Amino acid sequence: MIAQMDIGQALGLYNYWVVIFLMMTGFYMVIARGNLIKTIIGLNIFQTSVVLLYVTMGKVKGGTAPIMPLDVGHGHGHGHDSHGHEEAPHHAADAADHTMLQHPLSGRVGEAEEGPASSVVDASGHFTGISEPSVQLTGFEDAAHSHADTAHQAAEAIYSNPLPSVLMLTAIVVGVATTALALALTVRIREEYGTIEEDEILEMDRTA
């Protein structure tokens, strides 16, 4: 499997590997270290890497943060607009059905560079843009356009997915709540046993 992978595919997956490395470091600390505080630190590292995993999945190449600019004008972005609307109809017709049928991997990196082979979302985004003229910027644009044409990149905003951000905001805050609880328990254990080393605590439990 690894032998079949080319360098492009490997570059497209490096973010997952970094996250997995961090995750496994945290996992190792949880299972190998006897000190309770060290275990909690390990859990925190694990949690941060899970957050990073979700956030990297939401990134769209050439995208920007999902915050709408204040002045949404029609003045710029003229060049792409005609281009986008031109191809919108024939993609939008089967957009809803064919989104699910496309396999996500299979040489997607090369395909994206070649051209607008993947503008399903683009098309549906433009549809809402047409029906509501005041909102011209579309989310989740196809990154291929922006790579091919820098003028277009300045004109059309591509937004990364806001959903992972939202979910991970919740996860971080809940994570610190559980961390606080675990630390309080550690303080309590220290006062009861006089130590926070796991093996000593177990030994005291056994002898008691």
Partner 1 sequence: MILIVIPILALLALTAVAVARIRDLWAAVMFMGIFSFLGASWMLILDAPDVAFTEAAVGAGISTFLMLGTLALTGKTEKPTKFSIVPLIVVGITGAALVYGTFDMPAYGDPNAPIQTYPNPSFVEKSEHDMHGLPNVVTAVLASYRGYDTLGETAVIFTAGIAVLLILRKNEVGEKESV
43 binds partner 1 (CB under 8 A): no
35 secondary structure, DSSP code? B
42 binds partner 1 (CB under 8 A): yes
Nearer to partner 1, 13 or 151 (CB): 13
84 binds partner 1 (CB under 8 A): no
Min dist. Cβ of residue 14 to partner 1 (A): 7
Min dist. Cβ of residue 75 to partner 1 (A): 19
Cα-based distances in Å from 99 to 14, 77, 92, 145, 173 = 25, 26, 10, 19, 34
Closest to 67 measured CA to CA, from 164, 162, 131: 162
Site for partner 1 in 165-194 (CB under 8 A): 165-166, 168-170, 172-181, 183-188, 190-191
50 binds partner 1 (CB under 8 A): no
| Residues near 103 by beta carbon (within 8 Å), at least 6 away in sequence | none
Nearer to partner 1, 17 or 74 (CB): 17
State which of residues 3, 69, 73, 86 lies at the interface with partner 1 (CB under 8 A).
69
Per this entry, what is the length of the chain? 208
- Could you tell me which stretch among 66-74, 75-83, 86-94, 148-156 binds partner 1 (CB under 8 A)? 66-74
Question: What one-letter code names the amino acid at 11?
Answer: L
> Is 143:112 a contact under the CB 8 Å cutoff?
yes
Q: How many residues bind partner 1 (CB under 8 A)?
A: 111
State which of residues 80, 84, 92, 125 lies at the interface with partner 1 (CB under 8 A).
125
| Residues near 191 by beta carbon (within 8 Å), at least 6 away in sequence | none
